[in-house]
Amino acid sequence: MLRCKHFDAPKSGINIWHEIEEIFQSFNLSFGNTPITTDQGSNMIKALSLTDEVRYSCLAHRTNTVLETVWENVKIVNTEFKMFCTSVSNLRTYCQQSGGIQFKLPKTLKSSSGTSPWSSYFLIHNSLHQSYESLLIILRERGEQHRILQIDPQLLHEISTFMENFSLIFDNSEFSNQLTLQNVIPSYYRMTEYCIIDNKRKNSIINLLKVQIAKELDEKYLTSTTQLHWIATYLDPTFKDLLFVIDESYLLEQKKSIKDGIYILADDCKEAFLSNNQSSPKTNLPLTIKRKEDPFAIMRAVRGTASSTTVSASSFTDEIERQLQMYERTLYELPADSNPLIFWRDQQNVSPILSKIAKSVFVIQASSAESERHFSMAGQVVTEKRSQLDPECLESLVVLKEAYLKKTWPK
């Protein structure tokens, strides 16, 4: 997070851009080549288009749009699912408004997941599934058991289990303290795998959800991905073979597009690279992050280690080609946390151009969820109506709170 600001002016595109411009200038950032990941808000899109800033869609929000659209579409075509969703919503409302219920449950019923609405589809159904039996007993004592008997426990369990797969995907795309851009393309393929139809239950609600999700992923998620997302995936050594792409012709097409894109990125940084070519590389170790279950484990290639030797090149273009060929042949060990920066740190002497490109690509986030959490946190610190804090004091409080929660105090 660079800056969390409140301003009284209308949130129009031009006003938002003036705030972004001030932030860029205060941190000495370059206009036109500082990538920004945002949701699809029209005012934000307008703001960044004023000077043709590089904007990438927040793939967490795009996934939420997919799920939101699917839920509404299936409710329209399936009365049973519509009644199920209404009953779940009414029960959650009743439990939240009635005292003495939530604290008796093994898992508090979730109303939403705050700044991560895409996770709500799992959290809501999972919390209700985990508390179903306890809730049934409590409601019987109150003569309100009809509220839960309208909910099919089997369907509740199936939806909870199905959406848990997606929750794991979201955990690998929405946090700024780990690399996420390389997961965007594998996430699409992983989610489509989750949507394979169960032929034994062709007319089931779960199959209806799967069909709709697969359709919306193509229309709303995949169309928001770019060549840079494919490059990020390729530059993760565990994904570089793109083993999840089954169509051979499409695989060859994407590999060519990826390498063309790498040449363009290399050309953009050619002057800076050549001027700094004689400086010593940094050897700072990247932070290691404790990660949850890896939903992409079966998609990754695992290999042993081998050393590579530097080969001289007669031109910058030849050097890029040499490094690409070496990268294709390089053997490696799979890091415990699958952090590709560990690999590129070790390769920065033999493949300095690709290493520089990888670092510049991986700094881009797949989603804007983390920044929205900061805004939410700022809202908890202060509101327009009750506080006299000036913007600078508010910003300091937000940064301090974030440092405290993440244990990133200076030592």
Concatenate the DSSP letters of all residues of 146-181 into one string.
Answer: HHHHTS-HHHHHHHHHHHHHHHHHHHTTS-TTS--G
pLDDT at 380: 58
Q: Of 109, 134, 139, 136, which is closest to residue 124 (Cα–Cα)?
A: 109
Q: How many C-beta neighbours within 10 Å does residue 303 have?
A: 13
Confidence grade of residue 157 (pLDDT, cut at 50, 70, 90): very high
Share of the chain above pLDDT 70, in %: 76
Higher pLDDT, 372 or 62: 62
Tens of pLDDT along 218-243?
999 999 999 999 999 999 999 999 99
Angle separating helix axes 205-216 and 153-171, nearest 10 degrees:
30
Q: Is 121 within 8 Å of 165 (Cβ atoms)?
A: no
* 31-35, 42-46, 49-53, 156-160: range with highest mean pLDDT: 156-160
Confidence grade of residue 293 (pLDDT, cut at 50, 70, 90): low
pLDDT at 13: 81
Higher pLDDT, 393 or 310: 393
pLDDT at 109: 79
pLDDT at 285: 42
C-alpha to C-alpha distances, 106 to 23, 103, 114, nearest whole angstrom: 45, 8, 21
Higher pLDDT, 163 or 286: 163
Whether pLDDT at 311 is above 80: no
Confidence grade of residue 283 (pLDDT, cut at 50, 70, 90): very low
Tell me the mean pLDDT in the region 269-287. 57
Tell me the mean pLDDT in the region 6-31. 78
**Chain mean pLDDT for the chain:** 81
Whether pLDDT at 307 is above 70: no
pLDDT at 284: 47
pLDDT at 314: 54
Whether pLDDT at 77 is above 90: yes
Count the alpha carbons within 13 Å of 3 in the hemisphere toward its beta carbon.
15
Angle separating helix axes 153-171 and 79-97, nearest 10 degrees:
80
Tokens of 37: 């990941």
Residue 259 Rama label (left phi>0; alpha psi -120 to 50; beta): alpha
Tell me the mean pLDDT in the region 309-317. 57
Whether pLDDT at 126 is above 80: yes
Whether pLDDT at 159 is above 60: yes
Tell me the mean pLDDT in the region 319-334. 87
Tell me the mean pLDDT in the region 265-288. 61
pLDDT at 384: 46
Q: Is 291 within 8 Å of 335 (Cβ atoms)?
A: no
Q: Of 302, 382, 374, 381, which is closest to residue 335 (Cα–Cα)?
A: 302
